[in-house]
Amino acid sequence: MTIDIFYFSGTGNCLITAKKIAENTGGRLKSIAVAVRDVKVETDAQKIVIVFPVYAWGPPVVVRRFARKINDVKNKKVYVVTTFGGFAGATEDFIKKDIEKRGGEITAGLGVRMPGNCITLYGAWPEEKQKKFFERFEERIKVVSDYIAQGKEGLHEKSNFLMNFLFSGLIYKGFLMGLPGMDKKFFATEKCTGCGVCRKICPVENIELLGGKPQWMGSCEQCMACIQWCPEEAIQHGKKTVKRKRYRYPEITLDDMLEQSGNKGG
Ligand SMILES: Cc1cc2nc3c(=O)[nH]c(=O)nc-3n(C[C@H](O)[C@H](O)[C@H](O)COP(=O)(O)O)c2cc1C
């Protein structure tokens, strides 16, 4: 059975998750950011896995757009795998709705806890704490991969009703309402060399270089790739990120991230 593993990632947690699932199941690794640029997402795989981070207890908007474009989804098994720093709420339910609109259904939804990367709220976690999460990840990813490889069905890992209502209902709605203006707070300091990594790494092509400096164009997903991967730490978001430590999953390289955005070697 052919398996496609589609991923979206800002700092590598989902990319390493997707890579390991691909390794363990013999699946093909595919970028959501690239796939979503086509009118339809065509795949001959009988099983697909969608790996993405939780944002404000819901999915990134681009992942929902992607889910609504998958062709012939009703004839595929669809696994949702989320990564998150705390808890996922009812994130899976949003993708479920999108897949159901196309006649498909979610076979199972699994979660993987990873270090949080939301630098607009907090800096990178202490290294000791990260190490513990990475150790647990090694175990967890085997369980998740086996579940998918064996074609198991029916597990939907969610928080309880009240938490889902509060976080995935109310807070996610607020996040979506604020999203269009959220990139207004990004700016490049005098440390910026105009190298263009931010433009190339942005998975949704939201950054342009004007006069050698990045400008955010209002279609940001809040993935944090630009601020977390800037080689000079020249990108800030308001005043609070100046002192905050950057986070990236250690084994994921800039080249891996540029592959996601379709800009490797470009
Ligand atoms: C804008 C934003 C919102 C986030 N919201 C949540 C959240 O609601 N719950 C949670 O547990 N983690 C949240 N996180 C943490 C990420 O889901 C987590 O670190 C994820 O593993 C990042 O994956 P990535 O490295 O592939 O981008 C958020 C991160 C960002 C950037």
Protein residue with least CA distance to atom 2, ligand 1: 55
Q: Where in the chain is the domain with CATH 3.30.70.20?
A: 180-261
For 97-144, what is each residue's pLDDT tens digit?
999 999 999 999 999 999 999 999 999 999 999 999 999 999 999 999
Round to whole Å and give the CA distance between 262 and 39.
17
Report yes or no: 25 and 145 within 8 Å, Cβ to Cβ.
yes
Residues 37-41, mean pLDDT to the nearest whole number: 96
Ligand 1: centre distance to CA 123 (Å): 12
Determine the pLDDT at residue 159.
Answer: 85
Q: Judge if the beta carbon of residue 124 lies within 6 A of ligand 1.
A: no
> Sign of the CA dihedral 95, 35, 113, 156?
positive
Helices (H), the chain: 13-25, 32-35, 61-67, 91-101, 127-149, 161-163, 172-178, 197-201, 225-229, 254-261
Q: Is the pLDDT of residue 266 over 80?
A: no
Angle between helices 254-261 and 13-25 (to 10 degrees): 80
**What values do phi and psi take at 110, rounded to 5?**
-125, 150
Architecture of domain 3-173: 3-Layer(aba) Sandwich (3.40)
Q: Which residue has the tokens 């998740």?
A: 144
Determine the pLDDT at residue 1.
Answer: 86
CA proximity to 202, closest of 54, 49, 16, 62: 62
Determine the pLDDT at residue 170.
Answer: 96
Q: Judge if the beta carbon of residue 203 lies within 6 A of ligand 1.
A: no
Round to whole Å and give the CA distance between 51 and 14.
6
Residues 208-218, mean pLDDT to the nearest whole number: 97
Question: In the chain, pLDDT over 90 holds for what percent of residues?
Answer: 97
Residues 25-33, mean pLDDT to the nearest whole number: 98
Round to whole Å and give the CA distance between 256 and 136.
23
Residues 55-70, mean pLDDT to the nearest whole number: 98
Ligand 1: centre distance to CA 61 (Å): 13
Q: Judge if the beta carbon of residue 117 lies within 6 A of ligand 1.
A: yes
Q: Round the average pLDDT of the chain to a whole number and report it.
A: 97
Q: Judge if the beta carbon of residue 247 lies within 6 A of ligand 1.
A: no
Ligand 1: centre distance to CA 82 (Å): 9
Query: What class does CATH assign to 180-261?
Result: alpha beta
Ligand 1: centre distance to CA 114 (Å): 9
Q: Judge if the beta carbon of residue 87 lies within 6 A of ligand 1.
A: yes
Ligand 1: centre distance to CA 63 (Å): 14
Q: Is the pLDDT of residue 72 over 90?
A: yes
Ligand 1: centre distance to CA 211 (Å): 32
Q: Judge if the beta carbon of residue 86 lies within 6 A of ligand 1.
A: yes
**What values do phi and psi take at 164, rounded to 5?**
-65, -40
Cβ-Cβ contacts under 8 Å for 66 (sequence gap 6 or more): 6, 8, 32, 35, 36, 41, 50
Q: Is the pLDDT of residue 265 over 90?
A: no
Round to whole Å and give the CA distance between 65 and 67.
6
**Which helix (H) or strand (E) element contains residue 78?**
strand 77-84
Single-letter amino acid, residue 240: K
DSSP-based three-state secondary structure for 245: coil
Q: Where in the chain is the domain with CATH 3.40.50.360?
A: 3-173
Q: Which residue has the tokens 């513990």?
A: 132
Determine the pLDDT at residue 239.
Answer: 95
Strand pairing category for 77-84 and 235-237 = unpaired
Determine the pLDDT at residue 158.
Answer: 86
Pocket test for ligand 1, best of 16, 54, 91 (most atoms within 8 A of CB): 54
Protein residue with least CA distance to atom 3, ligand 1: 55
